[in-house]
Structure 1
C-alpha cells in the first residue's frame, strides 16, 4: 500500500533538504520540527544510520480548516516530509499522502483539504526535482 508520494533527485543530501524547505515555504508550509534521525540514532543508540531527516510541515490555514472539521485531526499533524539516502545512494524526498492520512478519520468534510495538501505536496516534489536537476546540455 502506497502512503507516500516521492521523487529521487540528483543532488547532495544537504542541498535537497534546503530545496525541500524552500519549496514547502513557497507552498505556504512552515517546518515546525526537523528531526535528524541519523544524529538521534548516533546519540541515543550509538548506532550508525543513513542520512535521514523528518520535516514536520504545517500550513496554518489548512490545519485550521481541518481541525475545524475534525478536532482529533491534530493527532495526525503535522504532515511529515522526509529526505533520505536510499540504499542505492540516491537522495529521495518523500511526503505523506494526505488523502491516505485523513482517510483514517473517515470524515468526508476533510476530502477537499486533503486534496489541497496533496496538490501542494506534488508541487513541492516537482519544484525540488526541477530545481536540483542537472543543467541540460545544449
Structure 2
C-alpha cells in the first residue's frame, strides 16, 4: 500500500494551489498550516529549492472522531498534501494515504475514520485536472 496518492498536472503552480484548496474545501477540509519549503530552505540554509508547499489539511468532524478514538492520533494530524514543481511545465500534487499511516496504530475504532478520510483525499487528487 502506497503511503500517498498523487497526480501530475501540466498547469501553473499557483493555479494548482488554488484548485487543490478548492477541492479540499469541497471534501470538508480546511487548511490549518501552509509551509513554503523553498522559502524556508532559502532563509534557513541559503539553498535554492523548487517550489514546494506543504498544506496541513483538516476535516474537523473526522479529526474529532479520530481524537475521541485515540488520544495520541494528533501526532499524525493534520493530513498533509504537497504541491511541488516537478519541472518547468508540470506540478505534482500528493496527499497522504491515511489508511497506510493508520496501520501503525492498532485501534479498530479508527478504521471507519481512516477509510472515510482516505476516500475524501483520493477524491481531491482524482478531481484535479
| Deviation per residue, 1:19-39 (Å, 9 max, x gap) | 101110111000000000000
Matched residue, 1:5: 5
Other structure's SS at 1:94 match: strand
Aligned partners of 1:2, 1:118: CA distance in 2, in Å?
A: 12
Matched residue, 1:21: 21
Structure 1 residue 124 displacement after superposition: 0.5
Aligned partners of 2:106, 2:87: CA distance in 1, in Å?
A: 35
Aligned partners of 1:21, 1:88: CA distance in 2, in Å?
A: 22
**RMSD, aligned α-carbons:** 1.3
Structure 1: runs of 5 or more not aligned: 130-138
Aligned partners of 2:88, 2:102: CA distance in 1, in Å?
A: 32
| Deviation per residue, 1:23-75 (Å, 9 max, x gap) | 10111000000000000001111000011000000000000000000000001
Structure 1 residue 89 displacement after superposition: 5.0
Structure 2: runs of 5 or more not aligned: none
Structure 1 residue 10 displacement after superposition: 1.5
TM-score between the two structures when normalised by the length of structure 2:
0.95
Aligned partners of 2:36, 2:16: CA distance in 1, in Å?
A: 14
* Aligned length in residues: 129
TM-score between the two structures when normalised by the length of structure 1:
0.89
Alignment of 1:83-94 (within 5 A): 83-86=83-86, 90-94=90-94
Matched residue, 1:57: 57
Matched residue, 1:79: 79
Structure 1 residue 111 displacement after superposition: 1.0
